[in-house]
Amino acid sequence: MIDEKMAEKIHWARELTTFVKHFCCYSMTQIKPWLLTFVIALLGVQGACVSEVTTAGSGTADTIRKDTMTYKIQKTEEEWKQLLGEDAYRVLRQKGTERPFTREFETQWEAGTYVCKGCGQELFSSETKFDAGCGWPSFYQSMDKSKVKEIPDLSHGMNRVEVVCSGCGGHLGHVFNDGYGQPTGLRYCINGVSLGFVKKP
């Protein structure tokens, strides 16, 4: 059950998410420096809210996300913890969310392939990565539709589409239809801590 205090946090996380989503539709070059600073501060609050809500309400999220697929890569929870470390485990295996603007891949533009940190499966090409201004690595498509699995996600009172690795079931992020100006019109918003990177030779 979600108590009144947690419900209030979810409400504000949703409001901040909506604000940031609309803000990111505009060109950063047209935003005054003081306003950009204000929005980045809001992003930090949003990340903290979403992180706390996701970890504290993981039981609710698990009951709403309908994923019955059996994945090729199987490990015990203890094995995943040893392999991934605390931060990656929380996101990949517990469906957490990292704070925006905190991972190197968000601003990385080298040519190469982004892979699942859990199992090494190829997920996204650097050729489809774009600057969405949202604070998380963004791509307009995956390398192949078989590489990721999309799952309806109604957790935390929101209607979203979760993206997981089809190899191990690791949580990657979500996909949205606000990839403005991109070939597919989609934005795969991916947690940087869920990814590894193989540089192009």
Burial level of 153, CB count in 10 A (0-12/13-18/19+)? buried
Half-sphere exposure (CA, 13 Å, Cβ side) for 115? 13
The pair of three-digit structure tokens given for residue 25, joined into one six-digit string: 């539709």
Q: DSSP string covering 58-108, please?
A: HHHHHHHS---PPPS----HHHHHHHH-HHHHHHHTT---PPTT-SGGGG-
Q: Which position among 24, 116, 168, 189 bears the catalytic label?
A: 189
Q: What is the DSSP letter of 24?
A: T
Among 129, 121, 61, smallest CA distance to 95 is for: 61
> Is 189 assigned a catalytic role?
yes
14, 34, 41, 110, 141 from 8: Cα distances, Å: 10, 28, 19, 41, 34
Which H or E run includes 161?
A: strand 160-165
The vertex-174 CA angle with 155 and 23, nearest 5°, equals: 100
List residues with catalytic annotation. 189
